[in-house]
Amino acid sequence: MKKKTSLRYIISLIVVLSLIWIGNSGFFNGLLLSLGVVSVAFVVFMAYRLNILDEESQPLHVSRRIVGYWFWLLKTLVESNITVIKRIWKGPKSLDPVVAKLPMSQDTDMGKAIYANSITLTPGTTTLDIEGDTMIVYALSYDAIKYLQGGEMDRRVKRLEE
C-alpha cells in the first residue's frame, strides 16, 4: 500500500538539496545552476517514486532545535579538544583508556545515530557499537565516561527527537 507523500517533505528536500548544491558549487553561472536544478529535480522525483519521503527521511521537527544543539555540541567539542590536548601534554600516564556500556534514551534510529555520532565527534571518545538501547563507548579517560554517564548529551539529543 502506497502512503501519501506530504508536500512539505518534497519542498524540504528541494530546499536542502539546492542549498547543498549551491554551497558545494560556489559558482553561479547559468550552466551550473541549470545542472543543479536538473540534479535536484531528478533526486526528488526518484525519492517520490521510491516512496521514501517521510518524517524519517526529512525530520522537519528536528530542524527547529538543531541549531541550538549544534552550538552546544561545538562548545563541547572545544572543551574536549582542550582536555585531550592537556592529557597528551602530560604524557602517557594521564591516559587511562576505558570501554563502557552506556544506556540510551532515544526512541528513534535517527536519535540513536545523532547521539552515537555526537559522541564519536567529541575528541577522546568513540562509539564502538549500538545494541538495542545500549551503546558501547571507548574513551581515553574515565572522566570522559563519567561525563557521558551524567547524561547531558543523552538528554539534549532526546529533546531533538521530541
Q: Which CATH number fits domain 65-160: 3.30.300, 3.30.70, 3.30.310, 2.60.40?
A: 3.30.70
- DSSP H or E stretch at residue 62: helix 60-63
Q: How far is CA 74 from CA 14, 32, 41, 64, 118, in A?
A: 27, 33, 33, 18, 10
Every domain of the chain and the residues it spans:
7-58, 65-160
Q: Look up the pTM and report it.
A: 0.72
SS3 135: strand
Encode the chain (162 residues) as per-residue pLDDT tens digits: 456 667 878 888 898 889 888 888 887 888 988 999 999 999 999 988 888 877 666 666 666 788 899 999 999 999 999 999 999 999 988 889 999 999 999 988 888 999 999 999 999 999 999 999 999 999 999 999 999 999 999 999 999 877
Angstrom distance (rounded) from CA 46 to CA 53: 10
